[in-house]
Structures are given as C-alpha cells and as structure tokens.
C-alpha cells in the first residue's frame, strides 16, 4: 500500500482503539456535517436529521472493527453509504411506529424518499466532492484579502470575466490573476483534505 493510502486509513485504525477518544472526536468533526448534507436528500426535519447523525456515527463506530479496507475498490464509500441508508430506513420505521397521531409512513418507508441504496452511494460521492470543495474554499478564504474570493466565487458560476470585472470595478487581467491565484491554492487545499479525510 502507498503511504497516501496508509495516511487515509490512519484515523480508521485509531478508531478501532476504544481508548482513543481524540480519534472519535476527529471522526465526528470530519464527517458530522457531511452526513447532515447527505441526509438533506431525505425528507427529514432538522431535529430528526441531527438525531439520526448521532445514530449513524455510533453505528459506524460499532461496525469499524469488522471493516477491512481494500485499496483497489471503493469499499469504504459503499459501506458508509449503506449504513446511512439503513439507519435512515430504520429511523423511518421507528418513527412510524411511535407516531400514533400522524404516521410518517403507512406501509413502505420508501414512500418518504425516492432513493434506493445504490442511488444513495451515488449521492454520497457527489455530495462528498462538493463538501470537500466548499470546505477547502472556506479554509483558504482567510489567506486572501480584498475581492479575490468573491471574484473566484463568481467565476465558479461561469460568470464571464468581463462581467466580473465590471461588477468589482477591476481590469479583466486582474480578474484572471485573482481567479488563478485562488484556484491554485484551492487545488492544493483540496488535495490536502482528500489525503486527510477521503476514505473511498
């Protein structure tokens, strides 16, 4: 295995040690907000999503000792997304049973979501990519002063250079320079975050 692969799985190895509280805190920090993003694709209110995140994290932690990474396949992503899907379906069923007045579902929990288990994995990957980009952009924002980040955000929306220049009262060449500076730093930050957090 490559050193990069080993770096990606260091946290998982640490989590298998019941006495490593810091590993658990790091895991929650890394994945709590991302799981909330995935759960936003299901029909849940905010309070239910927050409760479910804790159930999912606990389920992940309990199952980690049986997880064996495979460098050649995206096993962790599949495993992670399956746990999210199954815990969510379990949550729907429990909610239905406990809610006497207004059941969320009558027969099948799939009535509440159009996602099947394989579809959740696709959503998982797409949202993870977006999550990493947003996190990287947030991390580098303090490194730039002035209008650089705002210029880059407009460029990300495929806004023409001329329009951005007019909007910020800048020359077109300045807009291009700012975009490139932010883009180059963003690419490095994305690579760093993936090496630290991406387990797929």
At 86-96, the pLDDT tens digits run 888 888 777 77
Pick from 75-84, 119-128, 149-158 the range whose average pLDDT is largest.
Answer: 149-158
- Give the total number of structural domains in the chain: 1
Any idea what the Cα angle at residue 49 is, between residues 48 and 50, rounded to 5°?
90
What's the rounded Cα separation, in Å, for the pair 159 and 198? 30
Q: Domain span at residue 148? A: 3-197
Average pLDDT over residues 185-189: 95
Query: pLDDT tens, 143-171?
Result: 998 899 999 999 999 999 999 999 999 99
Cα-Cα end-to-end distance for the chain: 14
74, pLDDT greater than 60: no
Look up the CATH number of the domain holding residue 74.
Answer: 1.10.1740.10
Inter-CA distances, 146 with 16, 136, 160, Å: 45, 18, 20
* Per-residue exposure over 142-172, b if at least 16 CB sit within 10 Å of its own CB, e if not: eebeebbbbbbebbeeeeebeebbeebebee
What's the rounded Cα separation, in Å, for the pair 6 and 94? 39
pTM reported for the whole predicted model? 0.65
Average pLDDT, the chain: 79
């Amino acid at each position: 295995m490559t050193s990069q692969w080993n770096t990606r799985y260091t946290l998982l190895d640490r989590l298998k040690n019941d006495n490593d509280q810091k590993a658990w805190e790091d895991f929650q920090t890394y994945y709590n907000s991302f799981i909330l993003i995935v759960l936003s694709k299901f029909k849940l209110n905010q309070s239910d999503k927050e409760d479910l995140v804790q159930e999912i994290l606990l389920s992940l932690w309990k199952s980690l000792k049986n997880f064996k990474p495979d460098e050649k396949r995206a096993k962790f992503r599949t495993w992670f997304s399956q746990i999210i899907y199954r815990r969510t379906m379990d949550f729907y069923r429990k909610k239905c049973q406990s809610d006497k007045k207004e059941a969320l579902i009558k027969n099948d929990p799939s009535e509440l979501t159009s996602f099947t288990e394989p579809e959740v994995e696709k959503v998982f990957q797409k949202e993870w990519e977006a999550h990493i980009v947003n996190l990287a952009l947030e991390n580098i924002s303090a490194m730039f002063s002035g209008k650089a980040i705002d210029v880059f955000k407009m460029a990300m929306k495929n806004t023409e250079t001329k329009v951005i220049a007019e909007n910020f009262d800048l020359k077109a060449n300045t807009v291009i320079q700012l975009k490139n500076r932010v883009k180059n730093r963003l690419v490095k930050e994305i690579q760093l975050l993936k090496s630290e957090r991406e387990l797929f």
